[in-house]
Amino acid sequence: MATKEKDLRAAIVAQCRLLSAAGLSPGTAGNISARLGEAMLITPASVPYDLLRPEMIALMPLNGEYGAWAGPLKPSTEWRFHLDIMRARPDVGAIVHSHPPYCTALATLNRPILAAHYMIAQFGGPAIECTRYAPFGTKELSELAVAGLGQRNAVLLGNHGAIAVGPDLDVAIHRARELEALAHVYYLAISVGRPAILSDEEVGRIVERFKGYSVGAETRKALAPPKKRARRGKAKAAAAKRADKKKTARKKPRGTARR
Q: What is the pLDDT of residues 4-14, one digit of tens each?
A: 999 999 999 99
pLDDT above 50 (res 191): yes
**167 and 228 in one domain?**
no
Question: What is the total count of domains within the chain?
Answer: 2
Q: What is the pLDDT of residues 78-92, one digit of tens each?
A: 999 999 999 999 999
pLDDT above 70 (res 106): yes
**94 and 160 in one domain?**
yes
Q: What is the mean pLDDT of residues 232-249?
A: 62
Report the distance separating Cα 179 and Cα 103, nearest Å: 8
What confidence category does residue 241 fall into, taking pLDDT thresholds of 50, 70 and 90?
Answer: low
**240 and 176 in one domain?**
no
Q: Are 51 and 19 in contact (CB under 8 A)?
A: no
pLDDT above 70 (res 227): no
| pLDDT at res. 220 | 53
User: Could you say which DSSP state residue 50 is in?
Assistant: G
**80 and 199 in one domain?**
yes
Q: What is the mean pLDDT of residues 91-115?
A: 97
**228 and 141 in one domain?**
no
Q: Domain limits at 228?
A: 222-251
pLDDT above 60 (res 138): yes
Q: What is the mean pLDDT of residues 31-57?
A: 96
**56 and 110 in one domain?**
yes
pLDDT above 70 (res 139): yes
Catalytic residue set = 78
| pLDDT at res. 251 | 54
Sign of CA dihedral 178, 147, 169, 82: positive
Q: What is the mean pLDDT of residues 16-28?
A: 84
Nearest CA to 83 out of 44, 33, 36, 47 is that of 33
**238 and 134 in one domain?**
no
| pLDDT at res. 214 | 58
**234 and 166 in one domain?**
no
What confidence category does residue 25 fall into, taking pLDDT thresholds of 50, 70 and 90?
Answer: confident
Q: Is residue 75 one of the residues assigned to a domain?
A: yes
**206 and 105 in one domain?**
yes
pLDDT above 60 (res 219): no
Residue 13 sits in a domain of what CATH number? 3.40.225.10
Q: What is the mean pLDDT of residues 224-228?
A: 48
Query: Mean pLDDT score of the chain, rounded to an integer?
Result: 88
- Cα separations in angstroms, 86 against 48, 192, 244: 25, 38, 60
**70 and 108 in one domain?**
yes
Q: Any alpha helices (H) in the chain, and if so which ranges?
A: 3-21, 79-88, 101-108, 139-149, 169-192, 200-210, 217-250
Q: Is residue 217 one of the residues assigned to a domain?
A: no
Q: What is the mean pLDDT of residues 158-173?
A: 97
* 136 phi and psi angles, rounded to 5 deg: -65, 150
Supply the pTM of this predicted model.
Answer: 0.82
